[in-house]
Chains A and B, each alone.
Chain A
């Protein structure tokens, strides 16, 4: 996958997130792409670390900056009390059309993560993405994960942590069925 194929995939994902009524802030994009890279390993080549509010990729931030430079996306404040949201620019459709074959391969996966993940609140996405990060990166039993989540995110209570882990496991099962 070359860099513009990758940008086409991400542009399509942002379009799917808009369709799913996601707020499309940077956090929403970060967490949704994190789920995409973990559930459907491919060659997006984005490294994630645990940052202020869960998994975060500085590589992805750079790619989003490039996409803005390419006029594929822009940031716009939709509401005075909220942060900026990402919106697709007309050029994004052109790029997606140009790389229709690549985007077509990713379509089902993109729709899945946009539907399952992207419309959550920032707080929900932090819980879910951090739970997935622990499940994938730390050698803990499923039962130990909620406690670890609370350790990492003390503002999350144990019940919410348990619920987040359970939800992530459901998403993983559904994703496995799609990946076939």
Chain B
């Protein structure tokens, strides 16, 4: 290694650097990766909370997307190393995916996977998903991520890596097929699954472990070491096509079950926590009045300059200024005078699947729209059907082997919140009228 003139031999420049991390202990990065980490889009993630205002409910949940992104990079490369290990290659995958045995190019793809994992969240708005509705029509955080990766700042850094990394390869893997909008090759689709895959992706593995750690909710923990060790690229059972996807060796099935159970429980206990969702409603009300035209800018420079810090500061300022248009909503957050859950219509039972709109409208009519909010959400990405390599060498559906996965529910909620001032009265009133309100037909509504 060359030593620069004037430098001491004991200060040989480092080429591998490490971050301490509460989940993965050490995360190692190369100097070239560190240049990307030092870029403004990645550094901005130090100021975006992973779980929006969840820290108002779980005080420990102050972790940011920055450390999550490092964690996803670390896990993505571990998964890549496992599934491309020659000892782990399925014979059909070897025949169907030439890239798997192209040893000259595998290091390139490993670099792309790591960088895409590192950058997969750079398009997130302040408070992440909680504020995504405040983008102009046609925009979402995936589109912002695409634009940022193609920007001069990041594309220049990616191009300066040895060997240069194609920006579009990073974009494809960072946002996945859904976010890219154009066809991905089978190989690219599998690599994207390593990062953003519904069932076994590194994004999900990291956020569950990290969110569980910081919230103190133990349900989110599972044996991710065993899970990753057993991951394989496998043919999808039951198709007459050569379709390959991320799957698992049968010995890791319990750890996969454990991950998916953890996901279900974290959705129930953390992500869909009613008070957290009430804060999301207030945050959206605040942003609608605080942002110009109620929308975040899609200008990249502006995007890079707005983080949770600026918004939290504005919330505090508006909460103290009762003449500001957003004062009421800022004060709800700042003073913790959030709306209270009146009814989760999502749990009302099978006869009332579509009753949420009726309940919301009826409560609004009685108490006024300003005193009522509705928030509803279904758990997304609940794919539990992935291939499992059985002991006899056959590939079968996870649903065939796991009775737990066939029974795992999908979480949904349909919350109606109300100003705490009306809560007691509204509970009594709704109890008396609920059956008739919910039973109304909404056809043609």
- Size class of the contact patch on chain B: 35 or more
Contact B241 A65 (CB under 8 A): no
Contact B379 A65 (CB under 8 A): yes
What residues of A have a CB within 8 angstroms of the CB of B177 in the complex? 49, 51-52, 56, 58
What residues of B have a CB within 8 angstroms of the CB of A84 in the complex? 238, 385, 397, 399
- Tell me whether A19 is interfacial, beta carbon within 8 Å: no
A32 CA / B236 CA spacing, docked (Å):
20
A77 closest partner in B (C-beta): B400
What residues of A have a CB within 8 angstroms of the CB of B186 in the complex? 52
Q: State which of B283-291, B329-337, B409-417 sits at the interface with chain A.
A: B409-417
Least Cβ distance of A16 to chain B in Å? 20
Nearest first, the 3 closest Cβ-Cβ pairs linking A and B are A82-B238, A83-B238, A69-B410
- Interface residue ranges, A against B (CB under 8 Å): 2-5, 25-27, 49-53, 56, 58, 61-62, 65-66, 68-71, 75-77, 79-84, 91, 94-95, 98-99, 101-102, 121-123, 126, 152, 155
Q: Tell me whether A69 and B409 are in contact in the complex, defined as CB-CB below 8 angstroms, given that A5-B443, A77-B399, A155-B242 are known contacts.
A: yes
Contact B350 A91 (CB under 8 A): yes
A80 CA / B26 CA spacing, docked (Å):
42
Least Cβ distance of B350 to chain A in Å? 5
Contact B442 A2 (CB under 8 A): yes
B238 touches which of A81, A95, A99 (Cβ 8 Å): A81
Between-chain CB contacts (< 8 Å), 11 pairs: A26-B385, A52-B184, A53-B239, A70-B353, A75-B385, A75-B406, A80-B400, A83-B238, A91-B350, A101-B443, A155-B242
Contact A121 B182 (CB under 8 A): no
A83 touches which of B189, B237, B351, B378 (Cβ 8 Å): B237
- Tell me whether B396 is interfacial, beta carbon within 8 Å: yes
B223-260 CB contact bits vs A (8 Å, 1 = yes)? 00000000000001111111100000000000000000
B413 closest partner in A (C-beta): A69
What residues of B have a CB within 8 angstroms of the CB of A69 in the complex? 378-379, 382, 409-412
Give 17 new A-B contacts, CB below 8 A, not counting A51-B189, A77-B399, A83-B237: A25-B239, A52-B177, A52-B184, A65-B378, A65-B380, A65-B381, A65-B382, A69-B410, A71-B350, A75-B385, A81-B237, A81-B396, A82-B238, A83-B239, A94-B351, A99-B443, A122-B241
What residues of A have a CB within 8 angstroms of the CB of B305 in the complex? none
- Tell me whether B99 is interfacial, beta carbon within 8 Å: no
A27 CA / B340 CA spacing, docked (Å):
42
What residues of B have a CB within 8 angstroms of the CB of A99 in the complex? 443
Q: Tell me whether A66 and B181 are in contact in the complex, defined as CB-CB below 8 angstroms, given that A80-B396, A81-B238, A82-B238 are known contacts.
A: no
Least Cβ distance of B31 to chain A in Å? 36
What residues of B have a CB within 8 angstroms of the CB of A56 in the complex? 177
Contact A49 B353 (CB under 8 A): no
Contact B442 A4 (CB under 8 A): yes
A80 CA / B241 CA spacing, docked (Å):
17
Least Cβ distance of B43 to chain A in Å? 30
Q: Tell me whether A75 and B399 are in contact in the complex, defined as CB-CB below 8 angstroms, given that A2-B445, A49-B177, A98-B441 are known contacts.
A: yes
Contact A49 B442 (CB under 8 A): no
Contact B240 A122 (CB under 8 A): yes
A56 CA / B443 CA spacing, docked (Å):
29
Least Cβ distance of B176 to chain A in Å? 9
Contact B354 A62 (CB under 8 A): no
B354 closest partner in A (C-beta): A4
A61 CA / B384 CA spacing, docked (Å):
12
Which of B237, B238, B354, B378 counts the most A-chain CB atoms under 10 A from its CB? B238
Contact A25 B238 (CB under 8 A): yes
Q: Tell me whether A82 and B237 are in contact in the complex, defined as CB-CB below 8 angstroms, given that A65-B410, A76-B406 are known contacts.
A: yes
Least Cβ distance of B193 to chain A in Å? 10
A62 touches which of B380, B394, B409 (Cβ 8 Å): B380
Contact A76 B396 (CB under 8 A): no
Contact B240 A76 (CB under 8 A): no
Contact A62 B378 (CB under 8 A): yes
A80 CA / B357 CA spacing, docked (Å):
42
- Tell me whether B368 is interfacial, beta carbon within 8 Å: no
Contact A83 B397 (CB under 8 A): yes
A82 CA / B236 CA spacing, docked (Å):
9
Which of A53, A69, A99, A152 counts the most B-chain CB atoms under 10 A from its CB? A69
Least Cβ distance of A52 to chain B in Å? 5
A65 CA / B199 CA spacing, docked (Å):
13
Contact A83 B379 (CB under 8 A): no
A27 closest partner in B (C-beta): B239
What residues of A have a CB within 8 angstroms of the CB of B60 in the complex? none
A76 CA / B351 CA spacing, docked (Å):
24
- Tell me whether B216 is interfacial, beta carbon within 8 Å: no
Least Cβ distance of A58 to chain B in Å? 4
A26 closest partner in B (C-beta): B385
What residues of B have a CB within 8 angstroms of the CB of A27 in the complex? 239
- Tell me whether B183 is interfacial, beta carbon within 8 Å: yes
Q: Tell me whether A2 and B354 are in contact in the complex, defined as CB-CB below 8 angstroms, given that A27-B239, A81-B238, A123-B241 are known contacts.
A: yes
What residues of B have a CB within 8 angstroms of the CB of A122 in the complex? 238-241
